[in-house]
Amino acid sequence: MRTQDRVPAYGGGWLDRAAARRTDADWLAERLTDPASVVLPLWRDRCLADGDGPVRLTGERASAVRAAAGETVFLGLDGDAAVFAADLSALGERAAVEAAAATRAVDLRALAGRLDPAGAAVQAYARGLLSWHRQQRYCGACGAAAVAGGGGHVRTCAGAGCGRLLFPRIEPAVIVLVEAPGPPGRCLLARHAGAAEGAYSTLAGFVEVGESLEDAVHRELAEEAGVTVTDVTYQGSQAWPFPAGLMVAFRAVATSEHVRVDGVELLEARWFTRAELRERIASGRSLGRVDSIDHLLLGDWLSGDAPARPSAVW
Ligand SMILES: [Zn+2]
């Protein structure tokens, strides 16, 4: 049973994405002029917000923003209302803020924990999709311009004889909570290159071409920490469109307590008991970013809960 309090930030399927409508040009054109339709303005990966959070525009203000926007994409339906995102990145910051009747441009992650889950998820979706449009203006095969279509969910190369379809890219990464092979119960946390002294988190890495998710788990742990694991179990996933990530979370059990960090991506890795983690929390250290699936992985383990969504074992 899927419960919203178990859904990591930026997910949840709050909007009906209404994918079948994306190719209905007449319907989209009508929605764009419908005064009930909602437009979310963004500026260079930032929300445009006022004192209440990211602004949602309707009516004449929405029309004015669309006219000034470089790209407007259809996100889906919120009840009967169509929801669009409009990219004001071509404007200067002040002009974008004024056009949106906002008071500031702010990074979505800076608002973590202060937005309602649905609002945060839709903003993340908008940010990721608009970011992709700005990065995919040209065809990578022939270099011709690529034109947005399908409500903003595809770009088509306009080059003669090419016509390649370009879809938003998603970059999957695995994130793993590794448990010790025997008692007492411990988990492996590491200090990553660039992290502050004493800042530990679970191990993670990008999936490479030609790898399954579980292949990536085994390779990353071996490469970065010299750890081999068994009992790899899926825990959940998190959209992380900053700009294009998808975090796929696992638990695994080490076959040995021996750890050997690579000294490049990981500076240090060590085993923590639940008591040690509780002491760290009591001393004011958080368990990862509050909006990250890392936080949920550690929270579940700390509470001794069974995995939230146990599934196949590899
Ligand atoms: Zn092309």
What is the average per-residue pLDDT within 224-250? 96
Q: How far is the CA of 148 from the centre of ligand 1 (A)?
A: 13
Q: How far is the CA of 159 from the centre of ligand 1 (A)?
A: 5
Residue 78 has pLDDT above 60, yes or no: yes
Q: How far is the CA of 142 from the centre of ligand 1 (A)?
A: 4
Q: How far is the CA of 240 from the centre of ligand 1 (A)?
A: 28
Q: What is the pTM of this model?
A: 0.92
pLDDT band at 5 (very low <50, low <70, confident <90, very high): low
Q: What is the pLDDT of residues 117-137, one digit of tens each?
A: 999 999 999 999 999 999 999
Cβ distance 101 to 41 under 8 Å? no
Q: How far is the CA of 70 from the centre of ligand 1 (A)?
A: 21
The reported pLDDT for the residue numbered 306 is: 52
The reported pLDDT for the residue numbered 262 is: 85
Q: How far is the CA of 167 from the centre of ligand 1 (A)?
A: 13
Q: How far is the CA of 62 from the centre of ligand 1 (A)?
A: 33
